[in-house]
Structure formats: structure tokens, C-alpha cells
Chain A
């Protein structure tokens, strides 16, 4: 196959369009950008149930792997763009004793020479993708268990997994993306390697000696932030809504009222586990066969919340309109008129091209088992289709 491949338009033009399941009943908008990359930087995977994921990937020196034009085709449906661009936009690591507060993506970089070179042991049952001869991504289709279980109706699911690893100091981060056969995207980061900082007492850590001179490994946060530029069925006509359920007034906490609220201007929002808050990006024009607007919904995935002295840690979600120079959640180069961190990106603009910055936290209280080499501890969340198809496309 020629390395100089066709544009995605060509690829998508030959996608089998069997209308077995009612899906978005529209023609693709003319301005949809279907990506442009050569075969070496294209991922195009048809999963076991027939669903398809396509995207371009690009290695960047600081950001690591950046995904472009992430497009999903449900079984028997038409291709729909979900994300114009997506990447891990910061790893903020403040230590409990304030001994260090790292900003690993902007200050060290996930890519370039900091990509770990992967070998076969890194990628059992998968395929290694290379950048100029260096293998930096593992691509695998992996089982996810039940896609559905309804008495004797049983369906098993699979997922396309892409990951790269970047080692920074003592830590190695596994930056992973799962693209499920039901249209769900599950970004994750695994933190492994070995502990970075020792000192102090159990007040700020955990006694893990005697291996390390009988002292204490310092506890710390891993605050991961992603930048997600949504293009649901193309750039145009996208809107962000916040979904929530609160106790119905006068119901003595016996009823819940579900609400959806448009975030028409840039907004800093907090996760709210007690009111089940989530955010969706919906297209205002494209509808599924039941005339419901198609959308993808960001569902938070953590019960740890960190709000430290840094402004960007005061909220977990920043809804902004796309700006090319808003690159990192913190330590952003303040050039091109952009702010230094995500909280500064919320400055009253109308959200015409939605970006969601999402942060999730993990407080790592070390334990003996972390020495010498740690098991990965994972942080992540989900982006699920909401009303993309009128029924479960895998049935």
C-alpha cells in the first residue's frame, strides 16, 4: 500500500452502508473535515461486531500522541465524526509535602525522544505503529466482556485500544485510548514506573522502608487533563449541554428532576457526583431515525477531587470555544493572546466550536507494593454516544 494514501473522504466513500439499523438519517455536512494523513499515521479498524473507528495520529514533541478527526461508524450505519482533535493536555503532580509540583506535559514533554520505544513484550497480541522507524503505539482489539446480557440474549464486545508510553523521571505514563464497538471512547492514563520522592513522615506519605533508607515515600496527586475538541458530525452546529438530576423540591428527597442546560458561553464547571452531572455535545441539526439529536456525552470517572492553589485545579471541566493556541491545561505559552492555564480560557466567548477540558485526579498514597516497580494505577473517564442510533446497533 502506498504511504501516500488517499484522503479519508476516499476511504469513507467505500464504507459499506447497510441500513440494517436506523442511524443518523442525514447526509454528511459538506464542511466535515475527514482528516488528511498518510497510511503510516492512519488508524482504520473494523471491530468484530462490524463497527469501525478511523482517525489520524500525530506524534508531537510535547503533547505526545495527538488524535485527529476521530470518526465512528456504527454497525450498518454511516460514519460520524466525533472529535476533531484529542490529546492529554497536562499531567500535574503536586506532592503532599509541597516538595515538588510537576507539570509533566508542558515542562518535560510526552513525545519526541521521551516516547518510550515499544517492543513485542509491550504489545502482546497487538500491532506496533512506528514513527520514522521507532515503534511508539500499540494497537490492539481487545475483548470488553458483555456488550449485552438479557436472559439468553448474549453479545460480547470488543474495543480498539491505542496506547503509547512516556517515562518522565521515575514515572512511566501509559497514555491509552479505548474505542469501543458501541461508540464509547474511554481515555485513560496508567501511572507506573517507580516512586519519585521520599522524605518526611506519615503525615505526608507512607512508610515504605526499609528498602529506601527506612523513610517515607511522599504521597502525591496525579491530576490528568485532556483537551477534547468535539466536532459532532462536523464542526458546525454543535452545542454543549450540562445534564444533571437534583431532588425535586417538595418531594422530601423522594423524586429526582432531570435537567439539561445549554452552556452557550465559556464556562468553568465542577463535577458533582451527588447530582450525577455530565456534559454532552450535541448536533443541533443531525438527528437519528427517531428524530433525536445525536450527541456524545462526557461522563466523569473519578471520586478523587483536588482543588489546590493553582487556579486550573478549581474546576474539573472547562467548556471553551476552540482556540489553536490554547494547548495545555497549565503552563500554556501565553502567545497568540492565549491564557496561561485553562481557567483563563473561560473569558466570555460564545461556544461556537466546543472544546471540553476535563481533569481527573488520583491521590497516590504509596504502599509497600509500589517498590521497586509499581503496578499501573489508572485514571480515566468515558465519552458515550447519546442518541446516535435509534436502537442498540449491536443487537
Chain B
């Protein structure tokens, strides 16, 4: 099973925190003249913001502020309150702590390195980043029954046997919240309080693989193999 080439990481996982530009690709990064106003943050500004990101640890990222189960979900220009100056270059930095299923939302002044505000919220589930997408796929593949159903769905879609998951199937995980679907049942009802992924899959020749499995990333389990609740 492979992920589409276009799905490049939009956030950075703990493993790459502090390693600055290595593998750090965020749309909006600029390397030429200094950005201004409503311009997106430059690569240097993004790095500066991430370095200060508070998570479940005791300090900023560069000082070990992120916990082992923290994932950076978002780094981008902070929307200033309307009517205030956009001269300050400030970033929203969102870090999800899997330890206790909370999202840390910080505003970081990338010029001074100061963290202007931080709040911790529950039940807020922004889109997945690549590390989470990869983990969702790992959990799915470890489920024998889901693998069997996937092989059947693939055969139905393409008329071929599934020979190599890594090359035959494109998967695009999307965050799943139980309140998206009033019919949700079982352990999938935890999604929202927990962080969950739903897998959208198709063959490499663009035929739909008609399963929408739901993975509870917080619990590390498959909570629905089909994703259908009727």
C-alpha cells in the first residue's frame, strides 16, 4: 500500500523536530525576500515557530517541550484579529498530545521567539499529518481480517488479485469524527475524543476500493473495517 506522491508532510513529527529544514516541507515556505503582511510564513519563520512549540513537555520544542507522543499538526501564519496590524510575524503552532488526547494551540512570535499564548483543548481534531497517516496504515495492515476484506474489495474493483499492497493501492487517510455521522456505532463513537483516521483507497489505475476503514490512532486499533454504518 502506498500513499500518493502529492501527500507531502504538512507538519513535523517529533522525530524531525529541531532538525530544521531536513525533510520539512510546508507549502508557503519562501526563501527569497522577507515575507510581509498576509504572506505565508517563510521556511525560516516556520522553523523558528516549531522550535518554540509547547507540547506536553516542560518547555519549548528545542528545549524538550514536546513529549514522546506529541505530533505537530499545524504551523502557519496566525490570523490576527481584524483591525490589528499584520506587521508582526506570528505563527499558529498546533501540537497534539496522544498521551492525554489534547491539542495544544500556541501563538508564537517568530521574530522574538516568544510564545504569546497557549491553550489546551479536547475534542478538536484537525487534519492528519503524514506520520499519523502512515501509522493508520500500519495499524490497518496488522489487522488480519481487514487485510482479507481489502483483498476481496480490491478483486471486486479491479478483477485482479492483490499482489503487492505497497504498489497496488493508493490510500489517503482523512481524520474521522463520530459526530460526522449520526449512525456511527461501537468503538468508533470514541472518535473525536480520540484521534481517528478513515482510509480512502483506490487502485493505482484509479479504481475505487470500496472500503472506508476507521482506525483509532489514540487506541491503536481498527474500530470499523468497512466504515459503513447503516
Contact = CB atoms under 8 A, between A and B. Distances in A.
Interface in B166-215: 172, 174-177, 180-183, 198, 200, 202, 206-208, 210, 212
Contacts of B27: 59, 61, 111-113, 115, 131-132, 134, 136
Given A58-B39, A113-B6, A107 B127 contact: yes
Contact of A58 (B38, B227, B228): B38
Contacts of A35: 37-38
Given A58-B38, A99-B230, A335-B124, A114 B200 contact: no
A3 B42 CA distance: 13
B100 interface: no
A335 B37 CA distance: 24
B6 A170 contact: no
A117 B6 contact: yes
A303 B76 CA distance: 38
Interface string A56-73: 101111100000100000
Interface string A28-49: 0000000111101100000000
B57 interface: no
Given A107-B175, A213-B157, A59 B208 contact: no
Given A132-B30, A198-B208, A107 B200 contact: no
Interface string B82-93: 110010000000
Contacts, number: 174
B39 A40 contact: yes
Contacts of B228: 97, 99-100, 199
A194 B206 contact: yes
Interface stretch (B7-15, B60-68, B108-116, B138-146): B7-15
B36 A4 contact: yes
Interface in A101-139: 101-104, 106-109, 111-117, 131-132, 134, 136
Given A37-B39, A61-B74, A62-B74, 14 more contacts: A36-B36, A38-B35, A84-B82, A103-B180, A109-B10, A112-B26, A112-B28, A113-B8, A114-B10, A131-B28, A132-B40, A132-B43, A229-B82, A333-B126
Interface of B: 6-10, 25-40, 43, 74, 76-77, 79-83, 86, 105, 119, 121, 123-127, 156-157, 172, 174-177, 180-183, 198, 200, 202, 206-208, 210, 212, 227-230
